[in-house]
Chain A
């Protein structure tokens, strides 16, 4: 079956620091890959996605590249802001079941 291994948190960074959150997955078939973000007290919302090998998804300064050979989809941002403080979820999808990692909590301090 499908599974996701996501970088353990919590992660605390200073403003303008570089962010990487690692995500590796196992999946049957050829998954689409998603990152979702959850702000306090809210539901998850789509951050970015990639649907085939070597595709790069990007949004709000965040990027992730679909690496089929290493089954990874690491999230990066060059300069984080306080407003990026949230929980981030990696989620591969094949078929009608979406699988989520355990989430990585990020806190950015001024």
Chain B
């Protein structure tokens, strides 16, 4: 069972470069989301989606773009990387988001360093 798959596991970027973090789930979940995890700050929501074609901003969306063209995939794009975006990024999905109390299923994370 694949669950939520994130690629790459590690990435180093130079300031100003762009890249896309990939996230795919095979559970037919409606809801997908991206978090960043920083020491002492827990997890903070970047963007989320409640279905294909629908996205919305979370707590810390600046510097990131998302799209949801299929149910399975939810890529996160960094348009012009900055050192402040050095973090561990997690993709998570759930059956229905806030409806029906369904929990989140997480990928194993992408560790991004911006120099």
Contacts and interface: CB of A to CB of B under 8 A. Distances in A.
B100 to A, nearest CB: 9
B101 to A, nearest CB: 4
Contacts of B43: 44, 89, 100
Contact of B98 (A42, A49, A94, A102): A94
Interface of A: 4, 6, 32, 34, 36, 41-46, 49, 51, 89, 93-98, 100-103
Interface residues of B, number: 27
B106 A97 contact: no
A43 B103 contact: no
Contacts of A36: 104
Interface in B13-59: 31, 33, 35, 40-45, 48, 50, 56, 58-59
Nearest to B104: A98
A6 B40 CA distance: 11
Given A94-B98, A96-B97, A43 B31 contact: no
A33 to B, nearest CB: 9
